[in-house]
Homo-oligomer: A and B are copies of this chain.
Amino acid sequence: MINTMNDPKKNPVDANPTGSVPKVVVSRLSLYLRELQHLVRDGHETTNSKHLGQLLGVTAAQVRKDLAYFGQFGYPGIGYRCQELIVEFKRILGTSEPWGVALLGMGNLGRALLRYRGFASQGFRISAAFDVDEQLIGQTVEGIKVHSMAALPIKVPQLQIKLAMIAVPAVAAQEVADQAVESGIKGLLNFAPMTITLPDHVQSVGIDLAIELEQLSFAVVTHGRKT
């Protein structure tokens, strides 16, 4: 799953020896990647830091500073080659190869995530689902087999799964996270608006849906102020 990197120039750890890329810079890397994918779709072969910056609402200097965390990109007089940056950014983000993802919890959120169509195109595939409900265990939902949560320690290594999405009720989130970690999961996506305590070697990302509503609120009131 993890790319072997033979070229030390391109190794993000070498480009940034402290290893501490700010989270917001990494999140902009995803946004740059989406814009580059759109540019390629629209027939563009090259772009530059000014244009990329405009698409994201940051300065050209910020784009160059962001990219400098990860290595040297771009060509004098040409700028960036879109397709090349896409390949590089996917390599940096770790999505050059598809990831199998475990879905923990087959309640309403779990079933909604199973039906979500936006994962596959970016290199993520839910490869197994887990629940504690005896009625669900053994069933196949949306083509995915539901296993017992007790089977995590067997299935996670067997299917070489490294990432999991926690879609259980908040009260059960910490216990399920602990089980996932013990089974070998290295990264957890947490939808519960609460903090989960994890050992240092396990990474997590929490989702704050209220931020999206704030963005919508701003758009609506700003439009209201203008008209």
Please list the residues of chain A having a beta carbon within 8 angstroms of any beta carbon in chain B: 1-3, 5, 11-13, 19, 21-27, 29-31, 33-34, 56-59, 62, 65, 92-95, 99, 101, 107-113, 115-119, 121-124, 162-163, 167, 169-170, 186-189, 192-194, 201, 203-205, 207-227
Query: Which residues in B have their C-beta under 8 angstroms from that of A121?
Result: 210
Given contacts A93-B214, A107-B112, contact A209 B118 (CB under 8 A): yes
Contact B24 A57 (CB under 8 A): yes
CA distance A188 to B169 in the complex (A): 26
Query: Which residues in B have their C-beta under 8 angstroms from that of A187?
Result: 216-217, 219-220
CA distance A30 to B163 in the complex (A): 27
For this complex, 12 residue pairs linking A to B, each with C-beta atoms less than 8 Å apart, are A5-B225, A92-B218, A94-B222, A112-B167, A117-B192, A117-B194, A118-B193, A118-B209, A121-B210, A163-B217, A186-B223, A205-B219
Contact partner, A205, options B58, B118, B215, Cβ 8 Å: B215
Q: Which residue of B lies closest to A1 (CB)?
A: B221
The smallest C-beta distance from A155 to any residue of chain B, in angstroms, reads 18
* Top 6 A-B pairs, shortest CB-CB distance: A22-B57, A118-B193, A94-B221, A203-B219, A24-B57, A109-B112
Query: Which residues in B have their C-beta under 8 angstroms from that of A222?
Result: 12-13, 19, 21, 94
Given contacts A210-B121, A215-B30, contact A57 B221 (CB under 8 A): no
Q: A21-B57, A59-B65, A92-B218 are in contact. List 20 more A-B contacts (CB 8 A).
A: A13-B226, A19-B226, A23-B57, A24-B56, A27-B215, A30-B214, A33-B214, A34-B211, A94-B217, A94-B221, A112-B112, A117-B192, A117-B193, A119-B209, A123-B217, A124-B210, A124-B213, A189-B213, A203-B219, A204-B216
Query: Which residues in B have their C-beta under 8 angstroms from that of A119?
Result: 209-210, 213
Contact A210 B107 (CB under 8 A): no
Most buried by B among A22, A31, A188, A220: A220
CA distance A119 to B13 in the complex (A): 37
Query: Which residues in B have their C-beta under 8 angstroms from that of A213?
Result: 99, 101, 119, 122, 124, 163, 189, 205
